[in-house]
Amino acid sequence: MSSLLATGRTHDCGSLRREHVGNEVVLFGWVHRRRDHGGRIFVDLRDRAGLTQVVFGPDIDEGAHALADQLRSEFCIGIRGTVVDRGENENPNLPTGAIEVEAHTLEVFSTSATPPFVIADDDRLDVHENLRLAYRYLDLRRPCVQRNFLLRSRLYQITRSVLTRHGFWELETPYLVKYTPGGARNFLVPSRLNPGTFYALAESPQIYKQLFMVAGFDKYFQITRCFRDEDLRNDRQPEFTQIDVELSFATPERVFAPIEELVAEALRELAGHELELPLPRLSWREAMERFGTDKPDLRFGLELRDVTEVTRGCGFRVFESAPLVKGLCVPPEHAAPLTRSQLDKLTDFVKKREHGGAKGLAWARVEPDGSLKAPFAKNLSPEATAGIVRVMEAEPGSVLLFVADDFDTVHTALSALRLHLRDLLGLLDEASPSWRLAWVTEFPLFERTDDGRYVSAHHPFTSPLPEDVPLLDTDPASVHAQAYDLVMNGNEIGGGSIRIHRADVQAKVFEVLGLDEEEKQQKFGFLLEAFRYGPPPHGGIALGLDRIAMLLAGAESLRDVIAFPKTQRGHDLMTGCPTPVDEAQLAELYITHRPLPGRDDT
């Protein structure tokens, strides 16, 4: 073994200060940058803790100086030397800038080929993502990337600390689970021992954690991987990490309390932000009405206003004939960028299918005398004009933007427009990031499919609000659930529910979902059987750990907080997976595949 390795390092590259001057130290790390002045060679030595300037010179050590001439970027080296005060030459940009290490010994542990991109260009992430992913281990060397993973590591520790303090047991559930169609698409794992049958990779530990409650474990949590074979997005990976939580004798408030403490501590420790508890609660209905979405960004105003009533019989047919007319009021101080051509762009924006596909955007400016200047204004009755100005809380100089359509279209379009205006008009202060969290509660229990069937909005074990139970018979669409999401800055970071523990209510829900006895037994027989033996009332939540880490890190993508992520097409560019497999292994599993699409082998 080399002498320095045997000695071991005395410090990391981020910790030396003026108080260490005179110490003999051993540092290990990578050559971040090298500046060769002939008689002086400076090396910024990097490890995960920081940078330390190391100096080589013939007067310090002739051999080390000669060897340092051969150093190049990303060589992995060890040095022994003396900490000296830099005095006038202090570098204020480095935490270790007050000192440098005069190297008496240099050992090259390993040389490095010229990396495909420069690791030291740390603050610039502008390397193509495919290259970053192909050389992920080098990408992960960058200090700015490493910071995200330190944050992520601390998030695990905070989670464990807070939840353990609250009496939760950390437990594990299987990844190889029973295949249940419906919900997210499963990854399948063939069973060699049972040819022709498959496990599924768990989409979530949902059913197992409920069985923990039946088992009397009372309070459970797990930081666990979940697998979903669905299309990827900026904030969606096929494997991701949840903080999964379940507790017995639960009410929504009893679920919220420890979770609020967890996010508060995470924000305090990782973002330096003191969260005010309890967090605001917002019913789903209120969130939709005020923001047009179930995950409102509460960092700015610009709330939706309903002018349906005041525009009945107003003289403008578009408004009169629509089931719902709502609008946004851009106050005068932000309205300047909204020129005529910009308003035309906003009209195109709301017409796009992904922004709701509204038929148009009606806009108006409020004149100093309180009248409206707009293409449609001449049609408006004075009463309607006054009503609009009042409801919109408009003042002279405000710009009003209206969408008239059905409930879904109006809210989708105005919600998208609201976020668009947030960015267009700079409604957030980028310099001082703010953190606005809220619980969105009382989601609808069911959603209607195109062919009129009911499906669970959350999952089939979600409990209705007690007062809505009778509606299961008469009007399932209006039943609200004891289901909730946790929303942070317009992102859903968690969701959960109180589960059904009463057999009669569960039976009713299955009835609405159209599950017959056979399907029930086939899909959930074991859970229903378990629920015959005194299940406690229970409920829980799952938090998206990756998303929380992404937001706290200020990252743009989930990929920035997952060490080895997949591309949008599900590829790992470093290993090249997924790949075909050996025919022999397929044969062992009794698997053949159909002709592949788009490959004409003939």
561 to 580: interface string for RNA, x by CB under 7 A: ------xxx-x-x-------
Question: Mind giving me the DSSP string for 441-477?
Answer: E--BSEEE-TTS-EEESS-TTBPBPGGGTTHHHH-GG
Element of type H or E holding 27: strand 24-36
Per-residue tokens: 444: 């609808």
Contact set for RNA, span 65-84 (CB under 7 A): 72-73
Residue 127 makes contact with RNA by CB under 7 A: yes
Q: 128 or 378, CB closer to RNA?
A: 128
Among 121, 274, 344, 406, binds RNA (CB under 7 A): 121
Residue 294 makes contact with RNA by CB under 7 A: yes
Element of type H or E holding 497: strand 491-498
Residue 448 makes contact with RNA by CB under 7 A: no
172 to 201: interface string for RNA, x by CB under 7 A: -----------xxx----------------
Among 443, 446, 510, 531, binds RNA (CB under 7 A): 443
Instruction: Provide the CB-side half-sphere exposure for 479 (13 A, CA).
Output: 30
18 to 47: interface string for RNA, x by CB under 7 A: ---------------x-xxxxxx-x-x---
List all residues 6 or more positions away from 109 whose beta carbon is below 8 Å from its beta carbon.
Answer: 2, 5, 28, 76, 77, 78
Characterise 431 by phi-psi region: left (phi > 0), alpha (psi -120 to 50), beta (else): alpha
Rounded CA-CA distance 78/73 in Å is: 14
Among 18, 233, 317, 390, binds RNA (CB under 7 A): 233
Among 193, 309, 321, 353, binds RNA (CB under 7 A): 353
List all residues 6 or more positions away from 268 whose beta carbon is below 8 Å from its beta carbon.
Answer: 274, 275
Show the beta-strand stretches assigned E in 208-298. Answer: 219-227, 239-248, 281-283
Closest CA to 406 of 327, 322, 516: 322
Q: 121 or 395, CB closer to RNA?
A: 121
198 to 227: interface string for RNA, x by CB under 7 A: -----x------------------------
Q: 75 or 376, CB closer to RNA?
A: 75
Among 1, 593, 597, 601, binds RNA (CB under 7 A): 597
- Residue where the block lists tokens 């596909």: 357
Residue 117 makes contact with RNA by CB under 7 A: yes
Q: Exposure pattern of 41-62 as b/e (b: 16+ CB <10 Å)?
A: bbbbbbbebbbbbbbbbeebbe
Among 107, 129, 265, 269, binds RNA (CB under 7 A): 129
Element of type H or E holding 544: strand 538-544
Among 110, 128, 368, 378, binds RNA (CB under 7 A): 128
Residues that bind RNA (CB under 7 A): 33, 35-40, 42, 44, 53, 55, 57-59, 72-73, 86, 89-91, 93-94, 97, 100, 114, 116-118, 121, 126-131, 133, 183-185, 203, 228, 230-236, 294, 353-354, 443, 457-458, 483, 485, 492, 495, 542, 544, 557, 559, 567-569, 571, 573, 597-598
